[in-house]
Chains A and B, each alone.
Chain A
Amino acid sequence: MENDFIEEPVLNDDDDDEQSHSHSTKQKHDKLIDSIVHLGGKKRKVIIRKEPISIPNNLVASTQTSSASKKIKSHQLLSSLKKTSSVQIQTLKKQLAKVNKHQAVLQQPLQKPQAEKAERIAAYNQETKSISKWDPIVAKNRTAETLNFPLKNGGVQFQTTDEFVGKFQTLSSLEKDIAAILQSSSNNIQPNSLLTQAEKKIISKMDLLEAKQKLNELKRMRALISYQQAKFKRVGKIKSKKFRRLVRKDRQKQEEKDLKKLSVENPDKFLERLEHLERHRIEERSTLRHKNSTKWAKEKRLLSKFNTKAREEIEEQLKLGKHLRTKQAQDESDDDDDDEDEDEDAQPASKPGVGIQKKKPIEIPLILAPSQIEAESNPWLTTTGSAVLPASEYSKPNEVRNEDMSSSDSDEEHEKENDENPSQNEPIENTESYGVTTATKPVEHLTMPDSMKRIEIELKQTEQHQMNIQEAFADDDVLAEFEKEKSDIIDHDRPKAIDLSLPGWGEWAGSGVPVNKRKKRKFLIQPKPAPPRRDIHLHHVIINEKADQKISEHRVCDLPFPFADVEQFESLVQQPLGREWNPETAYRRLNQPKIRTRIGVRIEPLDKQDVFFKRHHSKRDNSSLDFNLSNNDEDKSTADVEQDSLFDNEQSQKKKFKRKQKTN
């Protein structure tokens, strides 16, 4: 077999004639050299093994035969027919020339593996593209707090009122009777007519002129209503923010005007209104700030379903808001005041509303003042910010002083205001003074209304206080005590040598004999030196190093994976889940499992039809509904027209129709 193959030429190409010739001469030459080389030595034949190429390379052959030089053109074929000249051949030649002229050569088709590869790539790309539509659904399912399986629960079906009403059926005979009577009434409005039977009867009984008048009136009213409706609809659909702003401003202007009118006509009501406005504003202030109601926050909130980063940002903002509110409660109130001033400044002085606005700060406090005082005197009514204040009084006397000054300012204001109604004046001031200054010297405060003097007094007080403390603890040597305690603790904590020697054991004599030195050394186990204490260089502190040994076993030492920082993790741990610390609804929400399944119910894989086409379907349903509605409108308008035609001539009819079209 092999020999056959070896003898076969590797390639049977016509072009290689010369090459093969040269090849043969070369072989001869090699043989000659070989024979010369081996003349002297042993004759040794080296067999070179040649592997056949079992599959003739068709591709190579085909490409070589189809090279441009080997191609046979059509006119070459015809050249053999030269001798036999006839009309037929001439025409044939002409036709051929025509064909050659308009010849567009198709590209050579791709070879099979390449073609298949291209097809595969195209198919794969198409597949990945189509399968990517599942991305939002997968993301939603992955981040969902709970998934209730089976996911397909029949869907929610909405009923229109007609369908709902259609379900009612008369049951008892009495109901049937009532229904029959109601049905037979001539005052029922039939679906395709504007007037009830009774009305029609009345109109038909009137004389023509009166009926026309009546009908005209009715029509006018109807038209007006429809115009108004159309207008509202159009305006309601406008999405432009600018327009909305303008509308809002218009409304505000109108309200201001109303307010002004009210101030002249009904001062009591006006005051009430002002108070209401003020309260409303305060409420809005307290609710809107840092409450994720901004545009940015809204966007983030939308994202937060799928994006943990956005969620964190929102949380951070909330945290910030909380932080600001608790710490700077006083500043915030100041800011608020500033804001109010700015608001007032922003409005031009010539406007009629300004007078009212400027009256406000004078009048409003009259209403609010008692409540403020109440809040200061009654600890239960204070907000968190003011509750913090007494604690800070000790640490930051400066702040307290500021507080006093501001309150004294407000005192002055109060005094000014209270000049008008002196009956309220005295009790207010008394309560204030008791609330702010120390109870020992109310008289002084009353006699010296200047705030600077009060500060001096307070300074004196603190100095005296310190003196008293020093006197009281004059005999105690606290430092020495502390040092002794510390050295005791250090001694106690130092690792001790363990003495395992037993007195009398292995000795000849009885009790009272001292223990052998050698033995002592042998049985005394020296401990390893303890690591240096952490408070070795801190003379004023004792750090207990053994305190958290037990609890440290229970603590997390590394930050677990999904958390970005320690605060986040701690906030999770601090959030209680139990009933004792959460209201029922929160308890349920916090403890709901990730997956809910029902016993004995199969969970089918997601259904493409269900997920995608249902949505599409519902959309189409809605659109069809809209279409129906619009149809109804059209029906109505045509019905109107029909009714009109009872009395009106055609021209007016057309005009009205046109007008309606315009409004629509």
Chain B
Amino acid sequence: MLCRNPSDYVRETKKDIVPVQRNYDPDLHPFQVAREYTRAMNAVKMERIFARPFICSLDGHRDSVQCLTKHSTQLSLLLSGSCDGEIKLWNVAQRTCQATIPAHDGFVRDICVIPDGTAFYSIGNDKLIKRWSMDNYDAPAMTIVGKHVFTSIDHHYKNSQYATSGENVSLWDEQRAQPLQSFKWGADSHAKVKFNPIETTVLASCAADRSIILYDTRQSVPLRKITLQMNSSSLAWNPLEAFVFTTANEDFNLYSFDIRYLQRPFNIHKDHVAAVIDIDYSPTGKEFVSGSYDKTVRIFAADKGHSRDIYHTKRMQHISCVQWTADNKYVISGSDEMCLRLWKAKASEKLGVIRDREAETLEYNDALKEKFAHFPKIKRIARQRNLPKHVYHAKREHKTIQESQKRHEANARANSKPGSVPFVSERSKVILKEEE
């Protein structure tokens, strides 16, 4: 028998919370899936409606931006160097330029901030390494004259060591004017050197002979060298997985490697339609951002082969540097037309204060989107992006090229002795050789 006591469900005051009686028996809810599907559809449409990732552009450089670094302790501080030798310090929260330092003659190649955030190093085409204090930008705290042009610099995550790349990869101490150690293995020029954020003694460099070389600061020799089909322009270590790094390659792809199995990359990330110039991991290690010569920024899930989002504007030119901010909220790109651009890492995310109930709804919507992600209508809406014309056409062109290559291979296989044209996986095609 049903009986209800009004005192159970009639509110005494306005703020009274009344328990809602529900029966969760699935037989009583025959339209449960249909209702949730509708909600998922609405959620995914809303996501596309609210997807406005671009926040602002930071302009002020008088030449194309060459390098970009986030501060090691402060969230809102950003350093950028341009091709006219200027370094600018930006306060991203206020969207203002804090300081402008005429640092080098010619390009500022790279900047790195020391772990405690009190100083930073810059290198330029003038063969100088300059140390700047955060208190005084008038003159460098220290200047080291190098023997060759440096291309990149990176600081150790714990020690007072830093590494530079150029003709060789050198390891320096903050207290000394001479390198502690220099590694050289075949290549006459290195484009990038990066320290591993977790296993802090390990570092990797991209060399000009299409190779990637691993080092350990405790060893006197490099560890291993792999040669790829084409040159790698940059690389980034995963901040959550010690043995994973991803390289940005000039063959439009990004390759993720496990340093224990270098025979082949464990993932190939495709989507760019021109050489990938820079890459940076999100601090959560689940995603990374890449900037390319095709004037777009793309965001990849670290374990997926294709990008989840593409950012572009009409005015943005070739990207030279990208960074993912340390709070996992924003992405910053620097490009040839002298601007830094600030983007949301999640295009449809609402900025500002979000109340609990709203947050819950957003979480529910996200869960629904994930649950129904494979349904064709929802998938189509979630994936749809309007591409710039040149990207669209280039993409189609590459598709035809790849198809034709595949066709040629299949024809060769069909018209030759069985077994003479073996199947080679895409991933193992990437590596030319692994040298010990």
Contact = CB atoms under 8 A, between A and B. Distances in A.
A130 B242 CA distance: 11
Interface in A552-603: 553-557, 560, 569, 572-583, 587, 590-595, 597-603
B360 interface: yes
B37 interface: yes
A593 B366 contact: yes
Interface stretch (B83-91, B271-279, B370-378): B370-378
Contacts of A569: 374
A123 B223 contact: yes
Given A553-B377, A554-B37, A580-B22, A593 B363 contact: yes
Contacts of B221: 116, 119-120, 123
Interface residues of A, number: 56
A127 interface: yes
Contact of A119 (B37, B220, B286): B220
Contact of A603 (B328, B364, B377): B328
B290 to A, nearest CB: 19
B202 A127 contact: yes
A120 B241 contact: no
B324 to A, nearest CB: 10
A574 B197 contact: no
A547 to B, nearest CB: 16
B284 A595 contact: yes
A131 B216 contact: no
Interface stretch (A243-251, A401-409, A604-612): A604-612
A594 B363 CA distance: 10
Contacts of A119: 219-221
Interface string A253-270: 000000000000000000
Contacts of B75: 600, 602
Contacts of A480: none
B33 interface: yes
Nearest to A582: B24
A601 B327 contact: yes
Contacts of A578: 32, 35-36, 39, 364
A556 B219 contact: no
Interface in B393-428: none
A124 interface: yes
Contact of B283 (A120, A149, A581, A590): A149
Q: Select the residue from A134, A555, A587, A602 with max chain B CB neighbours within 10 A.
A: A602
Nearest to B93: A600
A608 B283 CA distance: 16
Contacts of A594: 286
A67 interface: no
Interface string B9-50: 000000000000010101001001101110100000000000
B363 A554 contact: no
A581 B29 contact: yes
A277 interface: no
A121 interface: yes
A141 B198 CA distance: 15
A324 interface: no
B367 interface: yes
A255 to B, nearest CB: 41
A149 B241 contact: no
Contact of A128 (B260, B368, B436): B260
A123 B374 CA distance: 46
Nearest to B359: A593
A579 B32 CA distance: 11
Interface string A117-151: 10111011001101110100010011000010100
Nearest to A130: B199
B143 interface: no
A472 to B, nearest CB: 33
Interface in B224-240: 224, 239-240
B222 interface: yes
A112 to B, nearest CB: 11
B363 to A, nearest CB: 5
Contacts of B92: none
Contacts of A117: 436
B367 A577 contact: yes
Nearest to A575: B371
B199 A560 contact: no
Interface of A: 116-117, 119-121, 123-124, 127-128, 130-132, 134, 138, 141-142, 147, 149, 553-557, 560, 569, 572-583, 587, 590-595, 597-608
- Listed from nearest, the 6 A-B pairs whose CB atoms lie closest are A605-B197, A605-B239, A603-B283, A560-B374, A591-B367, A134-B242
29 contacts: A119-B219, A119-B220, A127-B223, A128-B260, A134-B241, A134-B242, A138-B242, A141-B240, A141-B241, A147-B284, A553-B377, A556-B375, A573-B371, A574-B26, A575-B371, A576-B29, A576-B33, A579-B364, A580-B22, A581-B26, A581-B29, A593-B363, A595-B284, A595-B328, A600-B75, A602-B73, A602-B326, A602-B327, A605-B283
